[in-house]
Copies of this chain bind each other. A is one copy, B any other.
């Protein structure tokens, strides 16, 4: 598994081979029907501890949406993590795996009033908001709760930018937080998201700077804030080289120092960073065909955009690949999924090279595929079953 270890650019120290071996061992010994995802819980744990050490005063809320496998959530509960949830379903999942209500942050700004009420009934006391309508619902359904307001920031350096769906301008955020105080809520701070798989550590300055402006505006109106929610954006190891965690932490620290005289409370919402590199998605080659125009071969896998690779839409996320023919001579390919859907093409613009000897029945592993794969999978498009997840633990040898 040297590829995986070598190419994961975001760790600060070389990874032990024992952990990588756990997935390798599973792949060699268990051989379930493809496609499937294998997660190494030891790797998730190691990433959590690495971030814990790097940002000791930040509350780490795992973005459950990245990989809601119950074992992954349970592992992070055991580590003392907090959780960023998007829905009542994720709240129930966390509670079922032993998370306390106090460890849960309802981070979705889009929520039904009755879902807020359900969260409140379960004991959740921390909510994101970015609109007057949502704030009014929180005040009614979760009286007295803590709220942070999401500001819209530039996330152009991200592989999967957010567009304008979430967040408001800093002056609107300040207005909403002052309104929150009037409604009897506890306006605790500001959140932002500089975009998932953010390759530019300097991007956090956009968010921290915006947070400062909201802090100042609110303070001037007698509403002191205390929390800066740094959001997500820390990367996993795909084909591009991502800076190491230390560079992100340095940029965040620098930005906090230059914007805040007194250090605020910190919260961070890693998803991809904690689980991305901990997963390997094993697929099988269905067919290799010559293209109609004699250009690149087409390699069809039994995994595609509808059963786990949703993030290859627009070729945003480019997974590193490993095949059972590695070492043989390579040539350019188009990679596609198994459904009858013309959009179920994985990589066509990106020029992937795969062994010329590759044929039906060979395996293709997508490395660092632990985030945003299994839970994106369709229930049964084209009659293909959803992607199953298996968990191993490189620290606990069988």
Report A's interface with B, CB cutoff 8 A.
63-65, 68, 85-91, 93, 107-108, 110-113, 130-134, 137, 152, 160-169, 172, 195, 284, 286-292, 298, 300, 302, 306, 310, 313, 336, 338-340, 342-345, 348, 359-361, 374-386
| Chain B residues within 8 Å of A360, by CB | 112-113, 133, 137
Do residues A375 and B378 form an inter-chain contact, with CB atoms below 8 A? yes
Known: A89-B383, A376-B378, A383-B85. A165 touches B292 (CB 8 A): no
Specify which of B107, B302, B313, B377 is in contact with A112 (CB 8 Å cutoff): B302
Do residues B86 and A383 form an inter-chain contact, with CB atoms below 8 A? yes
The winner among A163, A376, A379, A385 for most chain B CB atoms within 10 A is: A379
Do residues A110 and B383 form an inter-chain contact, with CB atoms below 8 A? no
Closest chain B CB from A391 CB (angstroms)? 17
Specify which of B85, B134, B284, B383 is in contact with A68 (CB 8 Å cutoff): B383
Do residues A87 and B342 form an inter-chain contact, with CB atoms below 8 A? no
Specify which of B63, B90, B167, B381 is in contact with A375 (CB 8 Å cutoff): B381
| Chain B residues within 8 Å of A286, by CB | 110-112
**How far, in angstroms, from A89 to B384 measured CA to CA in the complex?**
6
| Chain B residues within 8 Å of A152, by CB | 292
| Chain B residues within 8 Å of A385, by CB | 89
In this complex, what residue of B is CB-closest to A165? B342
**How far, in angstroms, from A64 to B65 measured CA to CA in the complex?**
30
| Chain B residues within 8 Å of A111, by CB | 286-287, 338
In this complex, what residue of B is CB-closest to A85? B383
Instruction: Kindly list 6 other residue pairs between chains A and B, CB separation below 8 angstroms, not including A87-B338, A90-B383.
Output: A85-B383, A89-B380, A107-B340, A110-B287, A375-B381, A377-B378
Subset of 14 A-B contacts with CB under 8 Å: A65-B381, A86-B340, A87-B383, A108-B340, A110-B287, A111-B338, A112-B361, A131-B289, A161-B342, A162-B342, A195-B342, A306-B310, A374-B379, A377-B379
| Chain B residues within 8 Å of A195, by CB | 342
| Chain B residues within 8 Å of A287, by CB | 110-111, 131, 133-134, 137
| Chain B residues within 8 Å of A384, by CB | 86-87, 89
Known: A340-B107, A376-B306. A382 touches B65 (CB 8 A): yes
**How far, in angstroms, from A108 to B341 measured CA to CA in the complex?**
10
In this complex, what residue of B is CB-closest to A374? B379
Do residues A379 and B386 form an inter-chain contact, with CB atoms below 8 A? yes
| Chain B residues within 8 Å of A130, by CB | 289
Do residues B381 and A379 form an inter-chain contact, with CB atoms below 8 A? no
